[in-house]
Amino acid sequence: MSWWGYSLIALLFSPGYSLGSKWALNLRINRTKLLAYIFSGLFLGYLVYNLKDINSLLEKMHDPLFYIWGLVAAIFSLSGNIFHIKGFAKSPNPGYVQAVTITNAVLVLFASAIIFKSPIDWTKFLGVIVSLLGLYLLLVSRSRIGKNDWQFSAIMAMVLYGAMFLVVKQMSNLEFKP
């Protein structure tokens, strides 16, 4: 399957994560416990998913770079999730937080051009402008209505997730499998 096929499948599952997290927080589930449940579930899910490639995983476990890059990705992922959950807890609508967080694609696009020499043409640049305009309108319009303390958490999640995605890309370039 191509990269965009996987991206579309991920797009279909993303609302479930956002809505499920907000629902759990509305039920007063502790944020720390929620993150522990999420990461435990992800760990078990990835373990089952990677059973077919367990030998490849065991081979890579002898490489110190595997641990270094994995730890860096985990730190960015955990930090991003903490801010994401805090944003969900404070926002009136999890879609606001998700919209801000998802604009990490802009950060990743430019950082990938610098780090990985990925191409950026004028259509991608136009898409960045549209994305930033939408982000601006969301943040400005929401800042006038009620509490806006969810915004900082969402922006931090955006930056940290963007950094995590770059680390994961570097890991795949080093032939570490997902």
**Tens digits of residue pLDDT in 106-160:** 888 888 889 888 888 889 889 889 988 988 887 776 555 555 678 889 999 999 9
Q: Please state, rounded to an integer, the average pLDDT across all residues of the chain.
A: 85
pLDDT digits (tens, 9 = 90+) for 28-55: 999 889 989 988 998 898 888 877 777 7
| Sequence spans of domains, the chain | 3-173
How far is the C-alpha of 119 from the C-alpha of 125, rounded, in Å?
11
Share of the chain above pLDDT 70, in %: 94
pTM above 0.85, yes or no: no
Residue 79's pLDDT is 93
Query: DSSP readout, 34-101?
Result: HHHHHHHHHHHHHHHHTGGGHHHHHHHTT-HHHHHHHHHHHHHHHHHHHHHHHHHHH-S-HHHHHHHH
Calculate mean pLDDT across residues 87-99. Answer: 88
